[in-house]
A and B are shown apart, each in its own frame.
Chain A
Amino acid sequence: MRNVILCVGFAAFIALGDVAAFETRATRLQAITTVGVVSALGDEMSVTRAGLTPLNTPGQSVSIRSWGLDELVVQQATALLNGRFRVQPVSYPRDAFAAIGESAVTPVNLIRGDPFKALVRTDVSPKGLDAYVVISRAKSKLGTGRNVQGIGFMEYRTLLASYGLIHTLYEVRLIDGKTFDVIEKRAASPLGNIEIMRLQGPSQLVDAAFDGPAAIETLRAAIVDLITRSLPLTLGDMHLANTQ
């Protein structure tokens, strides 16, 4: 009988302790008032050929710094977050944030921790905000040995046809401004389940409208559209913006 009481008491202790711990994320979110937004996704667009490709088909990338996508992301995120937080402008070395990549060896990522924490701690100013929202490139698999990341255009070649796909793959981190812990990290989800070819983030099949002299501008507009439609959903999923 004594053992049973001890067991029940121990279980209750664990349960109560867990409930206290479970509230951590929500509690930390409620305590946030001031927020800074960092965006580092939009300086380069990858051009990938996948599917039935010749041997040695290297990936390419082109500079799209002039498109000003990061400024757009900061502007849109600020507008969305302003309903709940007081967003303050921050300065940061965008290239340093964009250069961060995950190790291919999964245990290394687990051991070394999130590299964005250190960068926010040292390179973002002003210090002292309650939290920082960091938006950076994310990666997606194609299922056959090829990864794509960030903003890009992919041509998927099959035996009988070729398909164009644009993607805007990004993830959002909410980093505590005092401890620099990652409170939450979320990759942007696909926009609906209507495509046969899906990536792990916002993407869209493109057609002949992307041929011709106005292709670049049309492409930029499509990328902007993906960002505009996905950012409210992602921030909403993280309970950072009231968009539901």
Chain B
Amino acid sequence: MKYFDEAAPRRASRAQQNLLTASLTALGIVVAGLEPAAAQTAFTLPAPPFDLPVLPSPSGSWTATVGIGGEYRPDFQGSKNWMLIPIPIFSIRRAGSTAQFRGPRDSGGIALIDFGNLRVGPAAKFVAARNSKDHSELRGLGDVKAAFELGGFAEYYAVDWLRLRGELRQGIGGHQGAVADVSADFIVPLIDRLTISAGPRFTWKSTKAVAPYFGVDAVHSLASGLPVFEAKGSAYSVGLGGQVSYRINPQWQVRAYVEYEKLLGDAADSPLVKLRGSSNQTTVGLGASYSFDFKVR
């Protein structure tokens, strides 16, 4: 029980931090006071009339989270204009299930191998279709269908505050190329309710993943007025990302993030980007969610 032995000297060193801590905590208390914390379950549902034999019984405590967020991001890859996209937040999980740290650019995934500090599993990402009629900069260029990128991820926590993550995905649909993402996140909890994180990002894409979005063939060149350009795979982008997560009280949480990406290689050299877009890609997101517990008898 070394904690008890070390507690006294640590208290002394903490004294200088007390003012800021107290301020942040007071902020939390003030905001929490606006919405009385529901200490117990919000409601109780009756027991289901039957159980599914292969599934765990649903009876017990559950936590539901509902919320709304918005993301302000480039219209399309390489665009210099932004658009606002609403993002609904909804999840139901067993009470107490802690949310794994998640970066804004992470694909959805399930850890099939989970040693705690090392997690490995399948990953999937959806890439929206690009319709040339939706944006004047794309006039004359072909549409690109929506794509699913399927693959895997591995993430490793060297320590609690440093996450290294890699993803490798293969496109299906709008593009059939390979995409690799590598990122690092330094996760710094300021107090228990306030966490900031930031870190570098790098993305590589194969020719088949880049060409549909950044290549200009002879037909599209004539239609769009852009010079013919053969986009090849290479380092796609480097960037930086950061996010702030603040838990106002056990129910309310707000989160904000910024992701900056500098396009590289043929993506940056594409006439679509050079003449009509920008190699600087920034995404800003903000969201608020409310969690409540309910019980199934």
Binding site for B on A (CB under 8 A): 19, 21-26, 47, 50-55, 57, 60, 62, 104-107, 140-147, 153, 155-156, 158-164, 184-187, 189-190, 192-201, 210-212, 215-216, 237-239, 244
Contact = CB atoms under 8 A, between A and B. Distances in A.
A145 B115 CA distance: 8
Contact of A211 (B4, B24, B158): B4
A240 B282 CA distance: 55
B35 interface: no
A233 to B, nearest CB: 8
Interface stretch (B46-54, B141-149, B173-181): B46-54
Nearest to A105: B113
Contacts of B191: 158-161
Given A52-B161, A106-B113, A160 B247 contact: no
A24 B51 contact: yes
Contact of B96 (A21, A52, A201, A215): A201
Q: Which of A23, A52, A107, A189 has the most CB of B within 10 A?
A: A189
B116 interface: yes
Contacts of B37: 193-194
Given A156-B192, A194-B37, A57 B112 contact: no
Contact of B51 (A26, A55, A190, A210): A26
Contacts of B250: 193-196, 198
A24 B50 CA distance: 9
Given A51-B189, A53-B159, A161-B21, 10 more contacts: A23-B51, A105-B113, A106-B113, A141-B97, A145-B101, A145-B156, A158-B192, A189-B95, A198-B96, A238-B57
B50 A19 contact: yes
Nearest to B99: A143
Contacts of B117: 145-146
A193 B293 contact: yes
Given A146-B116, A161-B14, A237 B59 contact: yes
Contacts of B247: 196
B188 A159 contact: yes
14 contacts: A23-B51, A26-B51, A106-B111, A143-B98, A146-B116, A153-B3, A189-B61, A192-B293, A193-B41, A193-B291, A194-B37, A196-B249, A198-B98, A238-B59
Contacts of B156: 145
A105 B193 CA distance: 32
Contacts, number: 173
A244 B14 CA distance: 44
Interface string B257-289: 000000000000000000000000000000000
A17 to B, nearest CB: 11
Contact of A200 (B3, B96, B292): B96
A163 B190 CA distance: 12
Contacts of A195: 250
Given A104-B113, A144-B187, A193-B250, A47 B3 contact: yes
B61 A237 contact: yes
B138 to A, nearest CB: 40
A45 B293 CA distance: 29
B63 interface: yes
A164 B187 CA distance: 20
A167 B37 CA distance: 22
A146 B63 CA distance: 22
B61 A211 contact: no
A69 to B, nearest CB: 16
B188 A141 contact: no
